[in-house]
């Protein structure tokens, strides 16, 4: 029993209104997904913060490691030509 009373951790994502993405709100414990949803309602949307909730078992998430930050993200740092401000367009042309 003691092991079971330590319920799994779930990550909670809340969509604050239609048109916006679900955003990570926090985590909680629950014995299954259905109760995780109910708990999420009480813990993270007491003030109409949401119109939709996702719950995902924390264990199911694969995360990139902070040690890989460099090799993962550095390659995009030297590609300034991917940004619009890289190009000089004369004022006469107008907004582009």
Angle at 20 between CA 14 and CA 22, to 5 degrees: 25
Residue 28 lies near other proteins (rule: CB under 8 A): yes
Q: Residue 53: how many CB atoms within 10 A of its CB?
A: 19
Residue 79 lies near other proteins (rule: CB under 8 A): no
Among 29, 51, 59, 73, binds other proteins (CB under 8 A): 29
CA-CA distance, 42 to 25, in Å (whole number)? 13
CA-CA distance, 35 to 29, in Å (whole number)? 9
Stretch that binds other proteins, among 15-23, 43-51, 72-80, 81-89 (CB under 8 A): 43-51
Stretch that binds other proteins, among 14-22, 40-48, 76-84, 85-93 (CB under 8 A): 40-48
Return the number of the residue (47 or 83) whose C-beta is nearest other proteins: 47
Residue 46 lies near other proteins (rule: CB under 8 A): yes
Which residue, 7, 50, 14, is CA-closest to 28? 7
Among 21, 48, 65, 85, binds other proteins (CB under 8 A): 65
């Amino acid at each position: 029993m003691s092991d079971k009373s330590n319920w799994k951790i779930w990550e909670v994502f809340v969509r604050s209104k239609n048109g916006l993405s679900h955003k990570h709100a926090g985590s909680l414990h629950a014995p299954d997904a259905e109760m995780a949803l109910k708990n999420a309602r009480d813990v993270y949307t007491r003030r109409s913060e949401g119109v939709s909730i996702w719950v995902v078992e924390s264990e199911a998430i694969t995360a990139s490691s902070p040690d890989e930050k460099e090799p993962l993200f550095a390659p995009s740092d030297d590609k300034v030509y991917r940004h619009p401000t890289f190009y000089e367009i004369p004022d006469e042309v107008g907004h582009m």
